[in-house]
Structure 1
Amino acid sequence: MKKFVLLTAVLALLVSCGKSNDKGQLVGVKGKKWHPEKPYGMTLVPGGAFIMGKADDDLAGVQDAPAKTVTVRAFYMDETEITNSEYRQFVNWVRDSTIRTALAEMADIEGKTPGSGDIGEFAYKDAGDDDDLTPYEEYMRDNYGNDQRKLNNEVDLIFETGEYPDVLYAEVMDGMYIPLEESYNGQRTWDVKKFKFQYSYMDIEKAARDKKLSRKDVIIREEVEIYPDTTAWIRDFSYSYNEPMHNDYFWHDAYGAYPVVGVSWKQAKAFCQWRTMYHNAYRKEKKRHFVNSYRLPNEAEWEYAARGGLQAATFPWGGPYAKNDRGCFMANFKPLRGDYAADQALYTVEADAFEPNDFNLYNMAGNVSEWVNSSYDPASYEFASTINPNVNDPRNERKVVRGGSWKDVAYFLQVSSRDYEYADSARSFIGFRTVQDYMGTEVTANSAGRR
């Protein structure tokens, strides 16, 4: 018996060795071949060193942005600010997911299943037939509940009231709109407070600095109302008539290519999480590598990108003037006292208006200020690292905004100017754009092979 076991072990070893082509050498584990893919609508910003901060002749600004040489790694950045159209894709996805979940739960409560022609068509995909589940899906459902059940996204939602399949469907949809007594002029709109995006992430920095914490202590869960605060157009300007912007700016197709505003820092972070999840869901289906997370740029990355490779420039186009040699304004801002239209734009303009900088990034100055993933601290330049510097204190609700906006004077358009707003605030002049880390380190602006 012992000889039989020994012989079996030797044969197994020989068979396992026979299947390998490494000839007994240490060759490493080879996975899927990685092909870098530039995300749609983004441009590659090559890493490199630059002088960050204010020049010495700006006596006021140099106090909170003293010049220092720093280095950032390569990353992709949106060529434009996130537009209303792009943010509406996020809102519509959350809205539809919220509705589908409510329909599936109602169908589950009432015992409705697909094939009945009623609300059952929107039941969970496993409703009524366990044979369609893999063992893993059945285990996850039985042990973790409805959160692990799949929604039926193959059936189109019905929004026309005359086409609702049954009263249960009508009941669910009725709960998605504002109460009837709060509607007016025969218009009943979505109750946008119901459209919330839930996500979780790991606070890696916290975990790295305190090894006594368990994994569950550094998993952060967030739930964010994602609809832009359109009332910002009214609140930001007292004694001013801006109701058309409040009523139409976000949802009307006329403004689809304009930058989204009225989005808080927390909502911008939620958008980044959704964009990552949405992209990777497609790649998972195609059995491809997951992409790096989309995120907000940190303050150093934003300034480096805004400079477009120009050292010591005042504006993204160089400087020190906000007009070109033909007397035309180079960005959308407030050039004169109260004359917002002097640059041929009263409010915002299309996200790809004006000329891009040398990194092919549009409106890094003016149009809308942009949220970055850094907390405002007047002294942060003094103690931040010189490689990929970033100061983001979760306890500091003052988050940095950069680039100036359509209502700001030229000083705030300068690439080195800093400003801040509170993380839960939404303004009619603050938007954002996202970045994604580049896989690898060989792409630098200092190298001869810049691309």
Structure 2
Amino acid sequence: MKKFLLLTAVMTILASCGSKDRGELVGVQGKKWHPEKPYGMELIPGGAFIMGKADDDLAGVNDAPAKTVTVRAFYMDETEITNSEYRQFVHWVRDSIVRMKLAVLADEVGLTQEDEGTIGEFAFKDADTTDMTVYEKYMFENYTGLGPTGYEGRKINKDIDLIYDTSEYMDEYYAEVMDTMYLPIEESYNGQRTWDVKKFKFQYNYMDIKEAAKNRGVARKDVIRKEEVEIYPDTTVWIRDFAYSYNEPMHNDYFWHDAYSDYPVVGVTWKQAKAFCEWRTINKNSYQKSKKGASMVNRFRLPSEAEWEYAARGGLQAATYPWGGPYTKSDRGCFMANFKPVRGDYAADQALYTVEAKSYEPNDYNLYNMAGNVAEWVNASYDPSSYEYTSTINPSVNDDNNTRKVIRGGSWKDVAYFLQVSSRDYEYADSARSYIGFRTVQDYMGTKTTGGGIK
């Protein structure tokens, strides 16, 4: 008994000597964390505002009765996502698919990274386990390859640049892989082969947290969802949206040509916009992992309908437009946004189609084109009566069974009514249009940044 008491006393002394908390309840000290403003985004301070139609509902839609709601702080893109930014997503998906195909073929023919001048240079990085950490080796031996193809979990090699010039292909295996990424010869014309964009598919998994919360006994694996989305924009929208109209130049050049790099991307569905958000999160966190001690960032996502309207108002209460006034022209007679001001006259505002994403004056939150240019997807299902039953704190209505998704802000082909910050419209989730784009948001970590109540 004495030995036990002595041992206990020694352990207590050692614990006290080796600890800096002096025996007090000080909590677990984690890493020092500093909020980082995402590139190209603005911090929107949380607060309360009057959501909905504060003035007469001239269109008689009656789908946006005024109500006071409160939203938490978040970051939002200064501009709509541009063609250049979306091309980064497309290139990432395309290159990842090519690298995976090269690695698989190298594995099948028995080539490794030591076989220079062959596709062996693109072999899986984990083909050699000698440089693996203990954890990486354990994961490789126990979990890698568990899936339909047997290559799930393998690490592709991103250290070697891909070759797209046919005259520089390294071997016949490389040519074989690249051939599968293009349309067949019989579908080419003018001597040019183009990418088979149907193969540009992005896969991601996510947890359906709402489903898990409603069914507390459900197994975690039963609320994990897998999505696979073709991510190339539908450029034919420029033709299909307008019958008996010549818009072929926009179909041919708008997404790929550098002349339109800074213009908002269009022709993307709601599902593609969601996939872009997931990719942006993965892309950023992949970089964070490469930096020792760096924290993972919060996920990027589409804004809720309330967040979008709150941000569009720029801190102004009961304003008709993001700039505050009830008119679409300035005191100098200049139009304040890109829309269709006169019947049949799309160019009266100096723009026939879209304009560059950073055009016109920003609102008081430094956000550009929250009215006009392109309408924007938000993470909400359209229900004319949703304002009647949504919560007054961070209101959000997104029903998986309701494929009518809300779009906000109006576009270059819309009349002024749809540019009003309170106007609601919708399109189906699997539809792409020449006048619909999107921008992303990210939650602000913490609650101290608020805009206060309604002034």
Q: TM-score, normalised by structure 1?
A: 0.96
Distance 1:59 1:348, change over 3 A: closer
* Per-residue Cα deviation, 1:182-232 (whole angstroms, up to 9, x for no partner): 110011111111111111111111111111211111111101111101011
Q: Does 1:422 align with 2:428?
A: yes
- Counterparts of 1:190 and 1:419, CA distance in 2: 34
Q: Is the 8 A contact 2:49 2:453 kept in 1?
A: no
What fraction of aligned residue pairs are identical, expressed as a percent?
74
Matches within 5 A, 1:30-45: 30-45=29-44
Give the superposition deviation at 1:138.
2.5
- Contact 1:273–1:294, Cα closer than 8 Å, also in 2: yes
What is the deviation of 1:62? 5.7
Aligned to 2:140: 141
- Deviation for aligned residue 1:140: 2.2
TM-align CA RMSD: 1.7
Structure 2 counterpart of 1:337, from 343, 364, 373: 343
Q: CA deviation at 1:16?
A: 3.2
| In 1, Cα distance between equivalents of 2:302 and 2:94 | 23
Change (3 A) 1:32 1:105: same
Contact 1:334–1:408 under 8 Å retained in 2:
yes
Give SS of 1:371's match.
strand
Residue 255 of structure 2 is aligned to residue 250 of structure 1: yes
* Alpha-carbon offset, residue 447 of structure 1: 7.4
Deviations 1:224-269, CA, capped at 9 Å, x for gaps? 1111010111111111111110110001110000000000000000
2:249 aligns to what SS in structure 1?
helix
1:295 matched residue in structure 2: 301
Deviation string 1:119-175 (CA, Å, 9 cap, x unpaired) is 100000122x32122232223223331322211111111111111111011100100
Q: How many residues align?
A: 447
- Residues 45 and 76 in structure 1, CA contact (< 8 A), matched pair in contact too: yes
- Give the structure 2 partner of residue 271 of structure 1: 276
Contact 2:46 2:70 in 1 (8 A): yes
| Contact kept in structure 2, 1:55 and 1:62, CA below 8 Å | no
Q: Distance in 1 between matches of 2:30 and 2:49?
A: 36
Aligned residue for 1:313?
319
Question: Which among 353, 376, 391 is matched to residue 397 of structure 2?
Answer: 391
For 1:433, the equivalent position in structure 2 comes to: 439
Q: Give the AA of the match of 2:271.
A: K
Distance 1:133 1:99 in 2: 25
The equivalent residue for 2:14 is 15
Structure 1 range deviating more: 7-16 or 350-359 = 7-16
Q: How far is 1:89 from its partner?
A: 0.5
State the AA in 2 paired with 1:418: R
Deviation per CA, 1:87-122: give whole Å up to 9, x if none. Answer: 000100011100000000000001100121201000
> CA 1:29–1:243 in 2, change beyond 3 Å: closer, same or farther?
same
Structure 1 residues 111-120 or 347-356, which shifts more? 111-120
User: What per-residue deviation string (whole Å, max 9, x for no partner) do you get for residues 245-295 of structure 1?
Assistant: 011000111000000000000000000001011111111211211111100
- Cα distance in 2 for partners of 1:238, 1:439 equals 47
Q: For residue 209 of structure 1, what is the aligned residue in structure 2?
A: 214
1:148 partner SS: coil
Shift of 1:419: 0.2
CA distance in 2 between counterparts of 1:329 and 1:356 reads: 13
Distance 1:111 1:4 in 2: 64
Tell me: CA distance 1:61–1:210, structure 2 relative to 1, closer, same or farther (3 Å): farther
Give the Cα–Cα distance (whole angstroms) in 2 for the partners of residues 238 and 327 of structure 1: 33
Is the counterpart of residue 231 in structure 1 residue 230 in structure 2? no
Mapping of 1:353-392 within 5 angstroms? 353-392=359-398
* Contact 1:266–1:423 (Cα < 8 Å) also in 2: yes
- C-alpha change, 1:56 and 1:359, in structure 2 (3 Å) is closer
Matched residue SS, 1:63: coil
Change (3 A) 1:325 1:59: closer
Q: Distance in 2 between matches of 1:447 and 1:50?
A: 7
Any residues of structure 2 matched to 1:168-183 within 5 Å, and which? 168-183=173-188
Q: Contact (CA 8 Å) 2:202, 2:230: kept in 1 or not?
A: yes
Note the C-alpha offset of 1:55.
Answer: 2.9
5+ unaligned residues in a row in structure 2: which ranges?
Answer: 146-150
List alignment gaps of at least 5 residues for structure 1.
none
Q: Output the amino acid matched with 1:135.
A: V
- The answer as to 2:80 corresponding to 1:75 is no
Secondary structure of the 1:76 match is strand
Task: State how 1:10-159 maps to structure 2 within 5 Å.
Answer: 11-61=10-60, 63-117=62-116, 118-127=118-127, 129-144=128-143, 145=145, 146-159=151-164
Q: Deviations over 1:72-92 (max 9, x none)?
A: 111100000000000000100
1:77 and 1:436 in contact (8 A); partners too: yes
Rounded Cα–Cα distance in structure 1 between residues aligned with 2:126 and 2:393: 50
Query: Is contact 1:372–1:401 with CA below 8 Å preserved after alignment?
Result: yes
- Superposition map of 1:154-169 within 5 A: 154-169=159-174
* Letter of the structure 2 residue corresponding to residue 211 of structure 1: R
Cα separation, 2, equivalents of 1:174 and 1:363: 41
Q: Deviations over 1:314-360 (max 9, x none)?
A: 00001211001111100000000110010000000000000000000
- Which of 218, 231, 235 matches 2:223? 218
